[in-house]
Amino acid sequence: MSEDEIQAHVVKFLEQCAIPDLPWFAVPNGEKRNIMVGLKLKNLGVRRGVPDIILLIDQTFHGLELKTEKGRLSVDQENFKRMIENQGGYYHVARSLEQAVWILREIGAFRLNIKFNFHSLPPGRWQDTSKQSRPRKQT
């Protein structure tokens, strides 16, 4: 599965299974562009190394970078990872759809009681046994 295919499935999971009111978005940095468009985007603040998906969970920044099994972080991604972690955020790297879903589940992005079975269901399919949302941390 390509990085784009993994990301498309992750987006479907988030659209269907995320906790209510979860602020998240995808960063479309990876496409090839002509020089003029690239310069315009750079002038508008597009940065190299930004993770593919950004989430804010319980007042904590999470970046999720999606790679294939053989994919590796670029120097720019390693630098951005360091910046995020130096500010108390998390930069996660997933090298498969299953790994991405596991990370999102572990950081609290999904509603409770959603079961993911990758062996019997095709990617993008899941069961939601409850509309209950994940409890929030007490502040």
Cα(1)–Cα(79) distance, integer angstroms: 26
Cα(123)–Cα(116) distance, integer angstroms: 9
3-123 is a CATH 3.10.20.340 domain: no
pLDDT at 121 over 70: no
Give yes or no for a contact between 54 and 25, defined as CB atoms under 8 angstroms apart: yes
Tokens 């319980």 correspond to 58
Computed over every residue of the chain, the mean pLDDT equals 83
Give me the percent of the chain exceeding a pLDDT of 70. 82
Of residues 44 and 33, more confidently modeled: 44
Six token digits for residue 69: 């099994």
pLDDT, tens digit (0-9, with 9 covering 90-100), for 65-93:
999 999 999 999 999 999 999 999 999 99
pLDDT at 119 over 90: no
Q: Would you kindly state where each structural domain of the chain is located, as residue ranges?
A: 3-123
Pick from 87, 120, 113, 107: which is nearest to 10 by CA?
107
pLDDT, tens digit (0-9, with 9 covering 90-100), for 87-117:
999 999 999 999 999 999 999 999 887 777 6
Buried b / exposed e across 68-100, counting CB within 10 Å, b at 16+? eeeeebeeebeebbeebeeeebbbbbbbebebb
